[in-house]
């Protein structure tokens, strides 16, 4: 089968490899229908943050080269021993987290804090391929009437959903979201679904600004054109937002987010940081502001699938490109890196 394989920084290739073997105990084999290109995939392509290179991952034993791809939907084609409740031909959107179920956090179902946390497509082979094997505990069933094209967005939308839940957004809150890629566009509809009064988006890319406006953002600011904290305070009676959600992972953005929230406001960091961030912690201590981390998701897929199914979330609006696996580097990775203004989410068909 063909697969997109990460060999090293700026070295991703579409190659022919053997099909995965029959799934082991507790696992299933999935025929991949669609797989989305995530910002994390681009991070690994350009910088390399998570993929194990020199030392095998403690849970999966995975090391480069690794097949990328963790935002995917597909159909079960084979079920391993001891797997119950899942049948061949069922459509699924798997959670990307692979965990030990033995550590302190796993035993409390806070699995995203697993001591040996691994991600499909980063620490073990992923879904930019015709088939992928995953643990059965990662599976989430998708309704028969939810297209695979939309189901592929369950994973990134779950990232946004989790950030909103971590932020404790409640009806009437004013929220400012600092955007970069799909994360902000996943967080925005989840924030609105939670009942936020005003959702303000800070974004540079034209396509994402337009999408935020279509989704009903109260205001969209370009940080190169205005003083963001001043504008947020102007729109919130001089007080500042109740919550800021940082989806960029920039060492420049968190201090701005802190300035943009009211006393005792909450800043949630949901971006992946490539460098250290300087923070003056008196700006946290004196006004008793909070900073919270938000990583991926923790049992949030079912919420997202339900909201996609009843129309409260719209995945189709986020899709700006559909390509085949052979075109993934030029029309996928390079397109997203070089033409951010034109793209939100590009999805890949490996067939």
Report CA 288 to chain centroid distance, whole Å: 29
Measured distance CA(76)–CA(90) in Å, rounded: 6
Q: Are 43 and 52 in contact (CB under 8 A)?
A: no
Pick from 149-158, 261-270, 275-284: least confident? 275-284
- Give the mean model confidence (pLDDT) for residues 166-174: 96
Q: For domain 160-293, which CATH number applies: 3.40.50.720, 3.70.10.10, 3.30.420.10, 3.20.20.150? A: 3.40.50.720
Best mean pLDDT range from 34-38, 185-189, 269-273:
34-38
The tokens for 246 are 């940082």
Task: Estimate the crossing angle of helix 253-260 against helix 228-235, to 10 degrees.
Answer: 20
Measured distance CA(175)–CA(268) in Å, rounded: 11
Q: For domain 2-153+315-349, which CATH number applies: 3.90.180.10, 2.60.40.10, 1.10.10.10, 2.40.40.20? A: 3.90.180.10
Q: Are 30 and 121 in contact (CB under 8 A)?
A: no
Measured distance CA(56)–CA(295) in Å, rounded: 22
* 319: enclosing H helix or E strand: strand 319-324
User: In terms of Cα–Cα distance, which of 325, 314, 315, 324 is closest to 345?
Assistant: 315
Mean pLDDT computed over every residue of the chain:
94
Q: Are 178 and 246 in contact (CB under 8 A)?
A: yes
pLDDT band at 44 (very low <50, low <70, confident <90, very high): very high
pLDDT band at 346 (very low <50, low <70, confident <90, very high): very high
Start-end ranges of CATH 3.40.50.720 in the chain?
A: 160-293
Q: Are 105 and 67 in contact (CB under 8 A)?
A: no
Give the 3-state DSSP-derived string for 64-87, with helices as H, strands as E and coil as C. CCEECCCEEEEEEEEECCCCCCCC
pLDDT of the residue at 181: 63
Start-end ranges of CATH 3.90.180.10 in the chain?
A: 2-153+315-349
């Amino acid at each position: 089968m063909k697969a997109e394989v990460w060999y090293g920084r700026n070295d991703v290739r579409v190659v022919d490899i053997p099909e995965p073997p029959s799934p082991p105990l507790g696992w299933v084999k999935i025929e991949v229908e669609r797989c989305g290109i995530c910002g994390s995939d681009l991070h690994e392509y350009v910088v390399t943050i998570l993929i194990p290179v020199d030392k095998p991952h403690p849970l999966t034993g995975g090391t480069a080269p690794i097949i990328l791809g963790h935002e995917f939907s597909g159909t079960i084609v084979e079920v391993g021993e001891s797997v119950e409740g899942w049948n061949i031909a069922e459509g699924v959107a798997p959670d990307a987290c692979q965990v030990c179920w033995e550590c302190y956090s796993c035993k409390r179902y806070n699995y995203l804090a697993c001591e040996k946390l691994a991600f499909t497509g980063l620490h073990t082979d992923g879904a930019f391929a015709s088939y992928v094997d995953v643990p059965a505990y990662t599976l989430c069933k998708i309704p028969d009437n939810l297209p695979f094209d939309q189901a592929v967005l369950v994973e990134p939308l779950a990232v946004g959903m989790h950030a909103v839940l971590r932020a404790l957004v409640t009806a009437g809150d004013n929220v400012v979201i600092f955007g970069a890629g799909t994360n902000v566009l996943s967080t925005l509809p989840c924030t609105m679904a939670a009942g936020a009064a005003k959702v303000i988006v800070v974004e540079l890319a034209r396509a994402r600004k337009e999408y935020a406006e279509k989704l009903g953002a109260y205001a969209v600011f370009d940080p190169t054109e205005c003083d963001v904290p001043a504008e947020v305070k102007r729109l919130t009676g001089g007080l500042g937002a109740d919550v800021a959600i940082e989806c960029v992972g920039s060492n420049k953005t968190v201090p701005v987010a802190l300035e943009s929230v009211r006393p005792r406001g909450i800043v949630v960091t949901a971006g992946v940081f490539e460098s250290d961030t300087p923070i003056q912690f008196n700006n946290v201590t004196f006004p008793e502001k909070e900073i919270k981390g938000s990583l991926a998701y923790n049992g949030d897929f079912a919420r997202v699938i339900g909201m996609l199914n009843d129309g409260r979330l719209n995945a189709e609006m986020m899709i700006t490109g559909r390509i085949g696996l052979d075109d993934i580097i030029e029309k996928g990775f390079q397109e997203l890196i070089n033409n951010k203004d034109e793209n939100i989410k590009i999805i890949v068909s490996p067939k």
